[in-house]
């Protein structure tokens, strides 16, 4: 039987907190029942904990009933005083705790690998097992992802190490609301045979290749880049997976906001800033518009860029309907590419024409910034009566450090939405880049990121209401990210 690890965590400043002020993060009735059920199982399970964790359990509840309690400590006198049974050739009973060194536990488990073991804390013990290899490395992680815990600078926090990409998120519970907290039970399993590497390494390898083999080039922004030409990456987005990078924090809500901005046909930055997103401030500023010869646009207007080309291609552009929230869009006219895609997915899913393109030269001089990602093509395949949807998006100009992580999640989410709306399942996202570059003012940051070890990709859950909602009525809170435990943010200045 495998070694398992059970823990309740809150994600705080890119670290996994397991205790606050030497106490549980929260006293949750449902979570305690879940913990009891999985650790007792069919009986004779072993729970392994540190000495501090054991004595933090109220005396009336210890040892934990119907489980064999192993308590790890390096205090030889304490072990001797508590009369540890050192005969590892026999089983223990569940009427008392057994204090032992880690090496004694190792001897026991090597002789009895058929027993079911749950590691239950604290931080040092979790880290000890997470850093093991072979049979002592946990096979399954049972993680309660807890939201709503408030922290202050005065709190004493206990942490555990983040687990790496070798653990795959294979399932999760419905959201549970208890008191002021919300939480889910997540299950991870280690399977490096099926998943021999993380898809995130494709991104990191791409960045590393540019640094090692790229060409130094001048560019429109004046910052300068290191650049290579043409590459492709493929990402698994099946079973709710979302390739949101974990080697730095990527602002998921900002990505979703930009996606909904574009898919609703909006071309005014005010939509984004009203939602606290400022990624388009530089490219729609007064200074930037004036340099483009667009003095007649008010600040914040993009012109006939992404959203306009997606929903109204061919129509005559006017800034009076840039913010489509305040406009009867049925009067704008033009060709609605998104509707065209949805119609084909419904009526002719195996067509080779299911695609959108935002590259429209006739509108270039009216647009503040030409599209960097300029098209996506969709591909449907069927297996055992189930339709699977993949998408390939193309970029003429790909900012690897700041832009590309956004673009990957943007199109992954779009595929997930279309699958929900057309009774399909997501399969794969393919990225194809032309001029793939790292700006000179991002080199230090990307080198820092490359040295980090990826963590498990999260999953995305969509509100069922999206199935029938108009795109302009979709909201950021219709999307939930599950199991996102990234490294901390790496800040960099956007090249404008």
**Cβ neighbours of residue 309 closer than 8 Å, sequence gap 6 or more:** 337, 357, 358, 360, 363, 371
Count of alpha carbons within 13 angstroms of residue 140, beta-carbon side: 16
Give tens-digit pLDDT for 95-150.
Answer: 788 999 999 999 999 998 889 999 999 999 999 999 999 999 999 999 999 999 99
Cα 379 to chain centroid distance, Å, stands at: 24
Phi, psi (5° rounding) for residue 241?
Answer: -65, 145
Give the side-chain half-sphere CA count within 13 A for 358: 26
Q: What is the pLDDT of residues 227-253, one digit of tens each?
A: 999 999 999 999 999 999 999 999 999
Q: Which CATH architecture has domain 3-190?
A: 3-Layer(aba) Sandwich (3.40)
- Report the distance separating Cα 255 and Cα 252, nearest Å: 5
Asked if residue 226 lies in contact with residue 432, where contact means CB atoms within 8 angstroms, the answer is no
CA R_g for the chain: 27
Q: What is the DSSP letter of 494?
A: P
Residue 122: closest CA among 18, 3, 9: 18
| Superfamily in which the 200-482 domain is placed by CATH | Thymidylate synthase/dCMP hydroxymethylase domain (3.30.572.10)
Sorted by sequence, the CB contacts under 8 Å of residue 168 that are 6+ apart come out as 188, 189, 190, 191, 195, 456
Catalytic residues: 372
Neighbours of 78 (CB within 10 A): 13
Q: Where are the domains of the chain?
A: 3-190, 200-482
Count of CB atoms situated within 10 Å of the CB of 86 = 12
Residue 221 DSSP symbol: T
Q: Do residues 439 and 242 lie in contact, with contact meaning Cβ atoms separated by under 8 Å?
A: no
Could you say which residues of the chain have pLDDT below 50? 86-89
Q: How far apart are CA 483 and CA 453, in angstroms?
A: 17
Where are the alpha helices (H) located in 90-148, listed in sequence order?
Answer: 102-111, 123-130
Q: What angle do CA 38, 43, 46 make, to 5 degrees?
A: 70
Looking at the chain, the number of H-run helices and the number of E-run strands are: 13, 19
DSSP label of 489: P
Residue 299 CA: distances (Å) to CA of 13, 259, 286 = 35, 21, 5
Burial of 148 by CB count in 10 Å (0-12 exposed, 13-18 middle, 19+ buried)?
middle
Q: How many CA atoms lie within 13 A of 377 on its CB side?
A: 11
How high is the pLDDT of residue 394?
A: 98
Whole-model pTM above 0.85? yes
Helices (H), 181-275: 200-213, 252-263, 269-274
Tokens for 23, please give them.
């106490």
d(CA 315, CA 308): 9
pLDDT at 87: 46
pLDDT, position 185: 98
């Amino acid at each position: 039987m495998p070694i398992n690890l059970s823990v309740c965590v809150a994600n705080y400043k890119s670290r996994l907190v397991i205790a606050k002020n030497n106490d549980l993060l929260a006293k949750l009735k449902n979570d305690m029942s879940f913990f009891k059920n999985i650790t007792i199982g069919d009986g004779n399970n072993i729970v392994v904990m540190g000495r501090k964790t054991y004595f933090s359990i109220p005396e009336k509840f210890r040892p934990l009933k119907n489980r064999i309690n192993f308590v790890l400590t390096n205090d030889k006198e304490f072990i001797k005083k508590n009369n540890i049974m050192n005969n590892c050739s026999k089983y223990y009973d569940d009427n008392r705790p057994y204090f032992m060194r880690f090496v004694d536990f190792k001897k026991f488990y090597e002789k009895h690998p058929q027993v079911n073991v749950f590691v239950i804390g604290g931080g040092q013990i979790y880290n000890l097992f997470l850093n093991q290899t072979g049979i002592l490395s946990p096979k399954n992680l049972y993680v309660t992802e807890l939201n709503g815990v408030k922290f202050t600078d005065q709190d004493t926090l206990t942490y555990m190490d983040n687990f790496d990409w070798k653990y795959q998120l294979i399932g999760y519970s419905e959201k549970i609301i208890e008191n002021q907290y919300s939480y889910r039970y997540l299950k991870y399993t280690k399977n490096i045979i099926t998943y021999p590497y993380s898809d995130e390494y494709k991104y990191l390898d791409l960045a590393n290749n540019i640094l090692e083999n790229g060409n130094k080039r001048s560019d429109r922004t004046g910052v300068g880049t290191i650049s290579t030409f043409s590459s492709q990456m493929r990402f698994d987005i099946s079973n709710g997976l979302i390739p949101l990078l974990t080697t730095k924090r990527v602002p998921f809500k900002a990505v979703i906001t930009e996606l909904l901005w574009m898919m609703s046909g909006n071309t005014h930055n005010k939509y984004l800033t009203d939602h606290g997103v400022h990624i388009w401030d530089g490219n729609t500023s007064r200074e930037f518009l004036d340099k483009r010869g667009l003095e007649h646009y008010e600040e914040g207007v993009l012109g006939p860029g992404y959203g306009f080309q997606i929903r109204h291609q061919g129509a005559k552009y006017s800034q009076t309907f840039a913010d489509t929230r305040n406009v009867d869009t049925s009067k704008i006219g033009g060709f609605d590419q998104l509707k065209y895609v949805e119609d084909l997915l419904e009526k002719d899913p195996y067509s080779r024409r299911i695609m959108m393109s935002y590259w429209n030269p006739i509108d270039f001089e009216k647009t503040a910034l030409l599209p960097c990602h300029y098209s996506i093509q969709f591909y449907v395949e069927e297996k055992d009566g189930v339709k699977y949807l993949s998408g390939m998006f193309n970029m003429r100009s790909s900012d690897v450090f700041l832009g590309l992580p956004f673009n990957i999640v943007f199109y992954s989410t779009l595929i997930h939405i279309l699958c929900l709306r057309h009774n399909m399942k997501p399969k794969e996202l393919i990225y194809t880049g032309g001029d793939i570059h790292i700006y000179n003012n991002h080199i230090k940051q990307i080198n820092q990121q490359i040295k980090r070890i990826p963590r498990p990709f999260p999953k995305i859950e969509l509100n069922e209401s999206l199935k029938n909602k108009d795109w302009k009525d979709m909201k950021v809170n219709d999307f939930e990210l599950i199991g996102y435990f990234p490294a901390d943010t790496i800040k960099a200045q956007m090249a404008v």
